[in-house]
Structure 1
Amino acid sequence: MDHQTPHPVEQPGRRGPAHQHAGHAHAAHGRPGGGNGWRTAVRATLHCLTGCAVGEVLGMVVGTAAGLDNAATIALSVALAFVFGYAFTMRGVLGAGLPVRRALKIALAADTVSIAAMEIIDNAVMVAVPGALHAGLADVLFWGSLTFSLAVAFVLTVPVNRWLISHGRGHAVVHA
């Protein structure tokens, strides 16, 4: 599709290929062969990072505060990252007027690989940082490691999302 072809979800009354998603406007992006795929991948990964970070932080805080072992804390964090990641996508899709079942299918298609990649990377970094999972909530090591792990996960997940978007998958399904 060239840049002169209207985007499939172009909004009436708007000039150019802009559309609504998650309550805010984006320029058209992520089309295979388009020149701005990296920008789209960064935006998609930031979107994913938001849900992952909320779930991850909540899971780490609850697991640490409850004295759960490392495996249980990580499992809780991963589960919550998926819940919040999907919920944030569904909020935007539902806001566009899609029914719940369709919104869930879109969220699953859009975010599963991205969230999984981000969680694998994030938790691998947390495990690799000596003492990070044993640090208390008041420790700089805990919060520094968590922030660092999310930053590393973001950087390494952007190319994953770029590949998915360039192949019409991942975040690209939200805009189809």
Structure 2
Amino acid sequence: MDHAPAPEGLTGLAVSATLHCLTGCAIGEVLGMVVGTALGWSNLATVVLAVALAFLFGYSLTIRPVLKSGLPLRAAIGVALAADTVSIAVMEVVDNAVMLGVPGAMEAGLANWVFWVSLVFSLAVAFVVTVPVNRWMIARGKGHAVVHRYHGGGHDH
């Protein structure tokens, strides 16, 4: 039987889960924004690429350690989908909304500090918004709580 973590540990777990999510999202987001901006793509095309890559990298960072626990690929993908989908989605909605909302950020270009400061700011805001979402999910045995069942090589059957 799975037990929810003690309330005092929830915030720490949520911060940890959100940092994990932020890592994958940031890799995908930065890569997507850089590629889309460098190629002169529209804001929509750039955001779509950034979001797709954020999900790809976010899921990949979860799948890899779960595979090491001995779970087959299909099951590891299921764990990643259960663990990360809501967190990545919230983070991507917030960070892209902020990025699009900063005047001139998307048009600034890669050599302009406005682009980079806006991107870092958007990811920071997304982190702050996503921590309580992850805390709420972990308290209910959802989200990243699913991944923790596979840490240490053991897993539920």
TM-score (norm 2): 0.92
Query: Take 1:98 and 1:44, find their aligned partners in 2: how far apart are those partners?
Result: 20
Matched, 1:140 2:107: no
* 8 Å contact kept, 1:32–1:167: no
User: Which structure 2 residue ranges, 5 or more long, are not aligned?
Assistant: 150-157
Query: Take 1:174 and 1:160, find their aligned partners in 2: how far apart are those partners?
Result: 16
Match in the other structure for 1:123: 96
Q: 1:104 aligns with which of 67, 77, 102?
A: 77
TM-score (norm 1): 0.82
* CA positional deviation for 1:92: 1.0
* CA positional deviation for 1:127: 0.7
For 1:75-86, list aligned pairs within 5 A. 75-86=48-59
Query: Take 1:35 and 1:125, find their aligned partners in 2: how far apart are those partners?
Result: 31
Q: 2:130 aligns with which of 157, 160, 163?
A: 157
* CA positional deviation for 1:164: 0.4
Deviating 4+ runs (over 4 angstroms):
none
For 1:37-116, list aligned pairs within 5 A. 37-116=10-89
* CA positional deviation for 1:35: 2.4
Query: Take 1:174 and 1:138, find their aligned partners in 2: how far apart are those partners?
Result: 39
Aligned residue-pair number: 149
* CA positional deviation for 1:113: 0.0
User: Which structure 1 residue ranges, 5 or more long, are not aligned?
Assistant: 2-7, 9-29
Query: Take 1:160 and 1:126, find their aligned partners in 2: how far apart are those partners?
Result: 20
* 8 Å contact kept, 1:41–1:165: yes
What are the Cα deviations for residues 92-146 of structure 1, in whole angstroms up to 9, with x where unaligned?
1011111100100000000000000000000010011000010110000000000
* CA positional deviation for 1:32: 4.5
Calculate percent identity across the aligned residue pairs. Answer: 66
Q: CA RMSD in A?
A: 1.4
* CA positional deviation for 1:33: 4.1
